[in-house]
Copies of this chain bind each other. A is one copy, B any other.
Amino acid sequence: MKKIKIFNDPIYGFITVENSLIFDIIEHPYFQRLRRISQMGLSYLVYPGANHTRFHHALGCGFLMKKAIDTLRMKDVNISEEEEEALYIAILLHDIGHGPFSHALEHSIVERVHHEEISLHFMQLLNQEFEGKLSLAIQIFKGEYHREFMYQLISSQLDMDRLDYLKRDSFYSGVAEGNINAERLITMLNVVNDNLVIEDKGIYSVEKFIVARRLMYWQVYLHKTGLAAESILVKILKRAKELTKKGKDLKVSNALQYFLATNISKDNFDNTVLELFSKLDDFDIISAIKLWCEHEDFILSYLSNSIINRKLPKVVMQIEEFSSTYFEEIQQKVKIKYELNDDELAYMVFKGKVRNQAYCKEREQINILYKNGKIADISDASDNLSIQALSKTVTKHFICYPKNIL
């Protein structure tokens, strides 16, 4: 009797897992941990529906990968059973290296270690545990397998990750305009010379995908209130590290304690560190912050309160850079009102910038396959001046400071 596992999904209906290796990977504590990591960081403070997790996203990616494999096979692209399993595993685990709050704390818990490197680390450990059965998945994930399009299904402009997260984030946040038609895009995939291409009738769908993605960036991922919340989160961790290094006991979980007290970068990120990292999730962070709401350090408790009780700062965002006099004026007011030194002030008033390039031909081009067999980058299609326009990087500047000071 086959072990078939069915997950309900509000988006795709049912996600069916038939493969028992994949099933065992899903049941592994490393993967179960993703249930406790918010897919969109603190965006739920802006979009109250956005409580979905990395766990569900990973399953969704697997679902789309299966669709893509079915489509390509229908178009006579040869994909073996072994490759199918490897592709599924690779997409399932591509994000397993995410720490608490996904991207929000990516460079706060550890330093300059990208979550994909940690994903690879996890995959290698799992490969040992599963006796080498993940080797092909790892090869594809690293881009070392000779069939390039398989890597592109994992990581490219139209990879299954991106198709799922845009659809899922738009769905849960309720920003319906960000919705993309993942199914249709997949229907139009094909492979030429071992590269993923989109058939030309899909050209407007791709354009719409790029516009939807840009909209999601400005309206959701880079929403000014969300940005403020995440900046505060980063600053809380920074303050906590400082205090820890000054010898304060912040009474947090052992795993979090370790990362507050130790500087971890690529060089010292070994299996012991990974084991501790695998214990960390959103719950360690939020319960610590709840505790810190009453901490004696003013900065720590002030910022913690602003997250827990959603007393977020004022944020101004604009295309132009802020003048230094304007910024200094605000600093001055806050400094006086809250009686802060310069070090403390940097936690309360700060600025930054965000960038968004909807389409980047150089980095990750989208190839269109024309009926006559020719292949060209989408931005070179004569009708797509708009995609050329979307290739321009847009930068916005923001500034955060306590409300009610002006």
Q: At the interface, is chain A mostly helix, strand, loop or mixed?
A: helix
Stoichiometry (number of copies):
4
CA distance A12 to B172 in the complex (A): 12
Query: Which one, B214, B219, B286, contacts A283 given CB within 8 A?
Result: B286
**A46's closest neighbor in chain B, by CB?**
B8
Whether B319 lies near A173 (C-beta < 8 A) is no
Query: What residues of chain B lie closer than 8 Å to A47, measured between beta carbons?
Result: 8
Whether B208 lies near A8 (C-beta < 8 A) is no
A382 contacts B by Cβ under 8 Å: yes
Q: Mark A19-36, 1 if CB is under 8 A from B, else 0.
A: 000000001010010011
Interface size on A, residues (CB 8 A): 75
A218 contacts B by Cβ under 8 Å: yes
**A212's closest neighbor in chain B, by CB?**
B208
A76 contacts B by Cβ under 8 Å: yes
A78 contacts B by Cβ under 8 Å: no
Instruction: Report if A174-B8 is in contact (Cβ < 8 Å); known contacts: A208-B215, A290-B283.
Output: yes
Instruction: Report if A174-B10 is in contact (Cβ < 8 Å); known contacts: A4-B74, A290-B253.
Output: yes
A115 contacts B by Cβ under 8 Å: no
Query: What residues of chain B lie closer than 8 Å to A7, measured between beta carbons?
Result: 48
Whether B290 lies near A211 (C-beta < 8 A) is no
CA distance A283 to B293 in the complex (A): 14
A388 contacts B by Cβ under 8 Å: yes
Instruction: Report if A382-B52 is in contact (Cβ < 8 Å); known contacts: A176-B184, A183-B13.
Output: no
**Which stretch from A53-61, A80-88, A101-109 is at the chain B interface?**
A53-61
Whether A284 lies near B279 (C-beta < 8 A) is no
Instruction: Report if A52-B49 is in contact (Cβ < 8 Å); known contacts: A172-B10, A177-B208.
Output: yes
Query: What residues of chain B lie closer than 8 Å to A221, measured between beta carbons?
Result: none
Q: Beyond A8-B48, A14-B184, A283-B283: 9 further Cβ-contacts under 8 Å?
A: A9-B49, A10-B171, A18-B74, A29-B309, A35-B48, A36-B286, A177-B205, A253-B291, A287-B287
